[in-house]
Every structure is written in structure tokens, then in C-alpha cells.
Amino acid sequence: MTLEGALVTPREFPTNRGGLCQKGWTSGALLSNPVRLTKPLLHGKPVSWDTALDFVAERIERIQGEHGRDGMAIFGGGGLTNEKAYALGKFARVALRTSQIDYNGRFCMSSAAAAGNKAFGVDRGMPFPVTDLDDADMILLVGANPAETMPPFMQHIKAGLIVVDPRRTATAERAMLHLKPAPGTDLALALGILHAVFSEGYAEQDYIEQRTHGFADAWRIAAAWWPERVERVTGVSATDQRAVARMLAKAKNAYILTARGTEQHASGTDTVNAWINLALALGLPGKPGSGYGCLTGQGNGQGGREHGQKADQLPGYRKIDDPEARAHVAGVWGVDPDSLPGPGRSAYELLDALGRPHGPKGLLVFGSNPVVSAPRATHVTERLKALDLLVVADFVPNETTALADVVLPVTQWAEEEGTLTSLEGRVLHRRPALRPPQEVRSDLEVLQELAIRLGSPAKAFPTIPEEVFDELAKASEGGIADYSGITYARLRDGEALHWPVPSREHPGTPRLFEDEFAHPDGKARFIPVDHKGPAEPPDDEFPLRATTGRVLAHYQSGAQTRRIDDLMKAVPESYVEVHPDTAERAGLTNGDMAKVESRRGEVQARVRCVPSMRPDTVFLPFHFPGENSANRLTNPALDPTSRMPEFKVCAVRLAPWGEA
């Protein structure tokens, strides 16, 4: 196809095999959209780049002079290239010297990352190529709806499919068995299936003894969760729990895959670990033709969290409070390790602290729209309004740019070179297809210009993506996510390089755990976890459970997809899926406008009566702003390990819109 005169030739690629979803084949419409940001804006008025950047630098210096280094903060995005994510982390720690940096990926895969590190000693979404799923004869898919959120992925699911989801989704329609637990009870369900695996003799005892530690402690908890007890908590029958145990155990090649539905809870890390425990009991991780994996949510969900834009992280997936890690990265950056700040606030905690007496007074946002995507969104909007300085770098207007003092127009995907890392740990090289509009700059150029104005030398912040990547590779050397052997030349030559790639001669590591896990003793860990339930259970005042998710036509906060006519025609407004009996009790019928209310706010949504919905549950997509914003309802209760907010369940009530 042709994009503004640039010839784009389709190619066979193992992950999507040339396929695109509705969002993919319409994405070119955004490249010439008339609302595209092309000039810097200062208080809503077009200005020159020098005027905008001088203003930002002067305000940063004033804020940090009055409130200290942590008076400034950065909020990044999981859609940024590896180079931009790396540069953003370096800019925070070297140019600003602030600890206050995190990103929207904290709302995406942080619970799976924490659980994977606990169990395996490493976090890589899928420790095997996606194409391995082609030969599976049984897949348990928990809290995911790839038939709508990543349709090309469904090409790899060819045999038995078991789906765990409160809703009868497009993915669940393809399943041979669909389990519908009450939102917030996934962990209990995992314990029930583990109980069935062990009590019915399906556990792989040799694997457990030879390749793992900690089963006895995990079983001590699971032993109390017999399937009949789990049925009372989750609503999933004991018969179905035992059937899942049997189907997985009898399969020659079985996989357990989890996603956001499992993670976005105040107990998300424990919940993921519960499913990993099940996989370990069945002997799946590291077994050829079987395994455990986690599906990624954003364009660079894997790479975006590996190289330094998380509050507690340095490049290579190193911990920022590790003295050896600090020394290594400081050496690459040419700074004193003692000058690097320590860990900062996690994403929601950072947003909640904005403008407060001991919180940041200025914020730079790159590749994110927290007004729509953050939990308790109305409150987050008020915090953003309380700032002395809000700067947003983006390529289309959104609800966050509307609040900004300064808006900086930057390049988008078709206009820039860079790398991204897939959910299977494969590093991908993206070439530019178009020249950006004349006055648009790359994020790397923006960071360099600001760094120079704040006293850093230009060479410390290169603007050529390949140069940034070469530095990233050095900074990651010896880390968990080691890119040191990867070069643009190897990627351009078409090599399939899955990290770790510790040398230029190394072929990459498409399959982790075949011989050992990443803990020092080479063994995986069972993590003892117990069911606690959602942070906000239903009660008489708010009797329903609300859960949120994505739809086929839209992506994330909708800032891009809501600009595309075909996608807006497909899903033009927010809606709430409700069981017909639940709607009737609330005085509503299909097509009515409803008020969905939680303790944090209310939203307007069109009623869709769906007979397959649980009567105690409603569903809202989170892609819409303002009165349609599902995240006005969501609960910011945080997982104690991952600091993931509880997006996937909160207590709500229904009423006709306009009713007091």
C-alpha cells in the first residue's frame, strides 16, 4: 500500500503472518489527520520551538530551585521505542536528577513482571516464540480477549482453548470451555484448579522435585481450597475446575497464558503467581512444547519497561537501588554513581502527589494520556491542574494536552526509526516510511534541546536512534535484559534476536528455561499465595461489580482511534454491558442511557443488554473521555508489590441517566 507516496511492501512475519486488525489497517488515516499537532503551543497559542523550550527550561530551573530536584517529574509511555524509553530515563536521572519518573506501563504488565521475577527470576512476557503455540493441543487463556484486542494472535490458537473471563467475549466464543468467575476471584479459581491437579494425581512430581522450590508452602494454602469451596466464591463449578485440571494434564503440549484481567487487581501479583504455580505443578515452564506466558498490552509493552522509565529501574532491567547496577550505568553515562537518584513514586502514586506540598510541581508527559487512562480519573485531572508546569509531547491533541501549559509536536510511528521489543522478547527494527511535517521534532531531539538548556552537553543526549541504541546496549550489558550483542546491522539483516543477547556472536535466546531458570540455583519458585478478594466488594449501596477492558475498534485511551472515522462509526460512544434482568431491576432497557456510579464518580453509558453477562457484573470499555470515562469509576487501590491499580473490579450501581 502507499502512505503519502511512501511504498510499504507487506512481508511474512511469524507473529502476525501479514495480518492486521481493524486498528492496523486504518492506522494510516491518522498520518494526515487535520488535527495533527505541527507547531509548539504555549498556553494554547503557536510559538517557535526556541520560545517553547526556553519557557520549559526556565520553569524547570525555577521549580527545582524552589522545591528541589524532585520538584520535577516525568510520566512516560509503553508505546515509546526502546531508544526513547531509555533516553527518557537517562534524562530524568542525569539532566533533571529527579527520582520522580514512571510510566503508563505500570498500569499494564507490572503485576506479571513482578510475579515472573519472583517465580522465574526474570520477566519476559513470553519466554518462547509465539509460533510455539501453533503446536499446542491445549491452551488456558486467563483474563485475555485477543480475538478483539490482538486478532492476528488468534492464528496461533488452533486446538483446544479454555478461557477464563467473566464475560462471553469473542475469544470465549471460540473456547471449548469457558469459565466465568466473579471479577476479583481469579486467584481462588487458580487455587481450586491446583487443588484438583494435586489431589487427583496430575502433578508432575519429578519436575517439582528437580526444577522447583517451595511447593509444600504453596500446597499448604491450596489444600484448603477444594473445588466445591472455590465454586461458592467464584461461581465456577467444581466439575469445570476438575475438567480444566484433567484437560491440561492430559495434553501433550499445554500452555497457560495470562493478561490484564489477571493482573489489574490490588492482588494482581499474587493472582499471576497463583496461575504460575498451576503451570509449575503441571511441569509446563521450560518443557519443550509447553509453557507459561503473559500477553502484552501496549506497542512496546515489553521493551518499554526494560530500560529505565520505571521508578525503580535502570537499563537492562537493573534495580536502581543495586550499587553494582548504579556503578555500571553511571560508567556508561559518565556520571558519579552517587549523583543518580534512588527509587521514586509508582505511576498512580506519582500522579496523586502532583501539586501537593511534598509532591512534584512540574510534569513532563511523553506518550501517555493519564486524564483518560489513570484510575480515579477525575481526581488525577485535578492533580494535573494543580501543577505549576505541565508539558506534553504528543502528535495529536488529547485530554491531557488540553490541560498543558506547553504542547510539543513530535513524530509518530511512520516517521521515525527505532526498535521495539515484542511480547516474546524479540527486538524489532522499525524504519521510517514518511518525513514528518516540517516543524515536528522527534522526542530524542526534544530531550537533547532541553538537556542543553539545563546544562548537559549535547553529546550526552544523541538524537540519532542508532547511536542511542548502541549506548542502550552498553548500559544493558550484564543485566537481565541484556541487549549488548544486538546492533542495528544485525536487525537490518533480518536476524531474529530474542534477549538476552550478551555478545555480537550470540544468536539470541528465543526459549528461556529449557535448562534452568534465572534464579542463582537454576530452580523456579512456587510462591505461596491466598485469595483475599477485591479491595472494594459489592455491598447494599453499590451492589454490582464493574470491570473494564478494550474493544476491537479502539486502543488505550482512544486518543488516536477516536480520530479515525471508520473506527468511530464502529463504536462511536461508550456503553455498559448488563444482564437483561440487572437492567430491568435498575429501570433500564437496551439502548437506554444509564448512569454508572461508584464511590469515586459517575459515567454516562449506553445500555447493551447481554444475556451471557453475569447478573452481578457490568462491563465498560475504557477508551472514552469525559462523562464516558470508565476510569472515573475505577479504584486506585494498589498491589503492594507491583503498585498496579485495581482497574478490573470496583463496586457500582446503575440508574437511568439524569436520575438524582
Q: At what angle do helices 215-222 and 268-281 cross, to 10 degrees?
A: 110
pLDDT tops 80 at residue 21: no
Together in a domain, 260 and 277: yes
pLDDT of residue 33: 83
pLDDT of residue 3: 46
pLDDT tops 60 at residue 107: yes
Set of cell numbers at residue 36: 495533527
pLDDT of residue 182: 96
Quick: pLDDT tens for 48-75.
999 999 999 999 999 999 999 999 999 9
525: in domain:
no
SS3 of residue 151 by DSSP: helix
The C-alpha atoms of residue 584 and residue 609 are separated, in whole angstroms, by 10
253: in domain:
yes
CATH code, domain carrying 236: 3.40.228.10
CA distances from 611 to 146, 163, 405, 545, 582 (A): 22, 18, 47, 16, 10
470: in domain:
no
- Tell me which of 280, 295, 310 is where a domain ends: 295
pLDDT tops 80 at residue 185: yes
Together in a domain, 253 and 346: no
Q: Which residues, in sequence order, are bridge partners of residue 163?
A: 141, 178
| Ramachandran sector of residue 247 (left: φ over 0; alpha: ψ -120 to 50; beta: rest) | alpha
Find the mean pLDDT for residues 563-568: 80
Find the mean pLDDT for residues 330-340: 98
What are the start-end ranges of the H helices in 301-374? 323-333, 347-353, 370-373
Together in a domain, 214 and 277: yes
pLDDT tops 60 at residue 154: yes
211: in domain:
yes
What's the chain's average pLDDT?
A: 94
Sign of CA dihedral 53, 55, 56, 60: positive
For residue 23, name the pLDDT band (cuts at 50, 70, 90).
Answer: confident
CATH code, domain carrying 576: 2.40.40.20
Q: Are 180 and 210 in contact (CB under 8 A)?
A: no
Range of the domain at 620: 544-656
E strands in 399-463: 406-409, 418-421, 427-430
Together in a domain, 383 and 411: yes
Together in a domain, 262 and 318: no
pLDDT of residue 81: 96
Sequence-distant (6+) residues with CB within 8 A of 329 are 314, 315, 316, 318, 340, 475
The C-alpha atoms of residue 507 and residue 511 are separated, in whole angstroms, by 12
Find the mean pLDDT for residues 14-31: 76
* In the chain, % of residues over pLDDT 90: 85
Together in a domain, 151 and 67: no
Together in a domain, 195 and 254: yes
476: in domain:
no
pLDDT of residue 543: 98
Quick: pLDDT tens for 570-609.
888 999 999 999 999 999 999 999 999 999 999 999 999 9
Residue whose C-alpha cell reads 537501588 in the numeric block? 321
534: in domain:
no
Quick: pLDDT tens for 504-545.
999 999 999 999 999 999 999 999 999 999 999 999 999 999
30: in domain:
no
pLDDT of residue 10: 58
Element (H, E) at 74: strand 72-76
Together in a domain, 199 and 114: yes
Together in a domain, 332 and 211: no
272: in domain:
yes
pLDDT of residue 28: 78
- DSSP secondary structure of 601-626: -EEEEEEEE-TTS-TTEEEEES---G
Quick: pLDDT tens for 207-264.
999 999 999 999 999 999 999 999 999 999 999 999 999 999 999 999 999 999 999 9
pLDDT of residue 8: 57
CATH code, domain carrying 81: 3.40.50.740
The C-alpha atoms of residue 613 and residue 596 are separated, in whole angstroms, by 16
SS3 of residue 178 by DSSP: strand
Phi, psi angle pair for 410, to nearest 5°: -125, 165
- Tell me which of 295, 318, 338 is where a domain ends: 295
Taking Cα atoms as reference points, which of 420, 126, 395, 419 lies closest to residue 300? 420
pLDDT of residue 4: 44
Together in a domain, 217 and 265: yes
Number of domain units in the chain: 3
Quick: pLDDT tens for 73-89.
999 999 899 999 999 99
- Tell me which of 265, 295, 325 is where a domain ends: 295
Find the mean pLDDT for residues 326-352: 98
- Tell the burial category of 65 from Cβ atoms under 10 Å away from its Cβ (0-12, 13-18, 19+): exposed
Together in a domain, 306 and 183: no
CA 209 to chain centre: 34
Find the mean pLDDT for residues 173-189: 97
Over its C-alpha atoms, the chain yields an Rg (Å, rounded) of 24
Taking Cα atoms as reference points, which of 370, 342, 187, 197 lies closest to residue 284? 197
Together in a domain, 331 and 447: yes
Quick: pLDDT tens for 412-467.
989 999 999 999 999 999 999 999 999 999 999 999 999 999 999 999 999 999 99
**What's the start-to-end Cα distance of the chain, in Å?**
53
